[in-house]
Amino acid sequence: MAAALAGDELIRSMSSRRASLQSSSKRSWASTSFREVWTGQGDVFQKSGREDDEEELRWAAIERLPTYDRLRKGILKQVLDNGRVGYEEVDVTNLGVQGKKQLIESILKVVEEDNEKLLLRLRERHYKKLCYFQWLETLKQVLKTDEKVYF
């Protein structure tokens, strides 16, 4: 009886833990996916803490906007003449030629990196399968002969 109660308690705790993990992963995915379109995936240790805090505050302000306005706004990263990086909040519908070019380049940069990773994984998989098929062909030739082979 005590074992059954312990089992029920374990099941309840596991299901509540799984539900909390699912909801937290959905929240983090939803909050970061909008940002990744604009910022891309960079090095985690690249920015100082102050710059990171400023950018987080700007994104938080955009996320508090109504949905229609939120979809039209974003933050573009610009490198200034003195070498510093500046962030500018822009309205996508009012972007100039330079802003559009910068936005498209940042989006395509992320896509190119993803495609490169995909192609590398496909090449590795193809190579593994090719080696496996060559091994099978060799095994088939060995088995076709009348000689006994011990593995």
pLDDT one-digit tens code per residue, 83-127: 777 777 788 888 888 878 887 887 777 777 777 888 888 888 888
pTM over 0.85: no
Residue 2 confidence (pLDDT) above 60: no
CA atoms within 13 A on the CB side of 51: 11
Task: Please answer whether residues 55 and 32 qualify as being in contact, where contact means their C-beta atoms are separated by less than 8 angstroms.
Answer: no
**How far is residue 149's CA from residue 147's CA, in Å, rounded to a whole number?**
6
**How far is residue 17's CA from residue 96's CA, in Å, rounded to a whole number?**
48
Mean pLDDT of the chain: 69
What pLDDT does residue 36 have?
57
Residue 69 confidence (pLDDT) above 50: yes
